[in-house]
């Protein structure tokens, strides 16, 4: 019997092949949950929904109406929503002095307003599910604890999401609703494919992890799984399934430049 047998879950941000949202959806389904995947690309969503025997819905997290419609659809389809996981994000790499107002509007819509829409919609649905509520998770980032250069807008909005999670935990715990952040570090995924292909870049990060390797999408998915089981008496927390990165901190720009430069020089010598 799976750890989520008889439960239902929504995973928003699962519309890119192989991304963290899809890894979470597959794990939850394998543990017995009925899963609805959501995002902006119908063909990808339909494919994974069929694969895991679940359902899908089109949803742009920046749209208040679409996020609330997603929550209502999941409740109608499954009867209740036991878990809701938001995996959306935009890794904006931009110097503070060069960040445009358009970029700020985009990242605030996604990582501030969008998270608010998500929390509002699923708290509403879960608050009607007495005597038990449910588990809400929004993916944040290890960078909010282990700063990295040229991420001010990204880190600022991710921290805002963490603060909203804490408020939900404090305000709605009496309804049985648990709310937590889960913070991956530098994770190989479709979003970071180009970065991982840069010679020397991973070498700059690896020594910062006490457990000796970068975290994987599977590490993140299993942290989310635990938070959605009945064994996690946890709320309002920021879970760090990233091998201890926050103990040592991310490499800074000069460290990354040195590692990439060394790797490029070695390639040229060879």
Out of 24-33, 117-126, 251-260, least confident range: 251-260
Q: Would you say 241 and 17 are in contact if contact means Cβ atoms under 8 Å apart?
A: no
Percent of the chain with pLDDT over 90: 84
Exposed, middle or buried: residue 198 (CB in 10 Å: 0-12, 13-18, 19+)?
Answer: middle
Q: Is residue 259 part of a domain?
A: no
Are 122 and 134 spatial neighbours (Cβ–Cβ below 8 Å)? Answer: yes
Count of structural domains within the chain: 1
Closest CA to 68 of 120, 28, 106, 19: 120
3-state secondary structure of 139: strand
Q: Residue 66 falls within a domain, yes or no?
A: yes
Asked if residue 263 belongs to a domain, the reply is no
Give the domain CATH number at 32.
3.40.50.720
139 phi, psi to nearest 5 deg: -70, 130
Asked whether residue 204 is domain-assigned, the answer is no
Asked, for residue 2, whether it belongs to a domain, the answer is: no
CA distance 270 to 267: 5
Q: How far is CA 41 from the centre of its chain?
A: 18
How far is 121 from 140, CA to CA, in rounded Å? Answer: 19
Which of helix, strand or coil describes residue 100? coil
- Averaged over 50-75, what is the pLDDT? 98
198 within a domain of the structure (yes/no)? no
Report pLDDT for 199: 74
Q: pLDDT averaged over the chain?
A: 94
- Render pLDDT for 102-137 as a digit per residue (tens, 0 to 9): 999 999 999 999 999 999 999 999 999 877 899 999
254 falls within a domain: no
pLDDT-derived band at 193 (thresholds 50, 70, 90) equals low
Q: What's the rounded mean pLDDT across residues 82-92?
A: 96
- Spatial strand order of the sheet with 238-239 comes to 55-58, 34-39, 8-12, 83-86, 134-139, 177-182, 238-239
Minimum mean pLDDT range among 143-157, 215-229, 245-259: 245-259
Q: pLDDT by residue (tens digit) across 214-244?
A: 999 999 999 999 999 999 999 999 999 999 9
Cis peptide preceding 12, ω within 30 of 0: no
pTM (2 decimals)? 0.94
| Full domain range(s) for residue 139 | 8-190+211-248
In a domain, 268, yes or no: no
Mean pLDDT of 74-100: 96
How many residues make up the chain in this entry?
A: 270
Residue 261 has what pLDDT? Answer: 80
CA distances from 234 to 29, 169, 177, 192, 237 (A): 22, 9, 10, 30, 7
């Amino acid at each position: 019997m799976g750890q989520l047998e008889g439960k239902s879950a929504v995973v928003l941000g699962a519309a890119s092949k192989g991304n963290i949202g899809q890894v979470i959806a597959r794990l939850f389904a394998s543990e017995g949950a009925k899963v609805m995947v959501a995002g902006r690309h119908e063909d990808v969503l339909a494919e994974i929904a069929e694969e895991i025997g679940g359902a899908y819905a089109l949803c742009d997290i920046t749209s208040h109406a679409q996020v609330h419609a997603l929550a209502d659809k999941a409740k109608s389809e499954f009867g209740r929503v036991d878990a809701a996981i938001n995996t959306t994000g935009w890794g904006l790499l931009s110097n503070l002095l060069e960040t445009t107002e358009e970029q700020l509007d985009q990242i605030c819509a996604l990582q501030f307003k969008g998270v608010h829409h998500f929390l509002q919609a699923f708290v509403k649905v879960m608050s009607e599910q007495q005597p038990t509520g449910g588990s809400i998770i929004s993916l944040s980032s290890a960078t909010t604890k282990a700063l990295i250069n040229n991420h001010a807008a990204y880190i600022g909005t991710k921290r805002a999401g963490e603060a909203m999670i804490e408020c939900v935990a404090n305000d709605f715990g009496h309804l049985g609703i648990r709310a937590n952040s889960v913070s991956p570090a530098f994770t190989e995924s479709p979003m970071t494919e180009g970065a991982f292909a840069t010679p020397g870049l991973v070498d700059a990060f690896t020594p910062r992890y006490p457990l000796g390797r970068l975290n994987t999408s599977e590490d993140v998915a299993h942290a989310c799984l635990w938070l959605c089981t009945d064994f996690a008496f946890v709320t309002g927390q920021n879970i760090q399934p990233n091998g201890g990165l926050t103990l040592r901190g991310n490499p800074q720009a000069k460290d990354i430049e040195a590692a990439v430069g060394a790797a490029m020089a070695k390639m040229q010598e060879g």
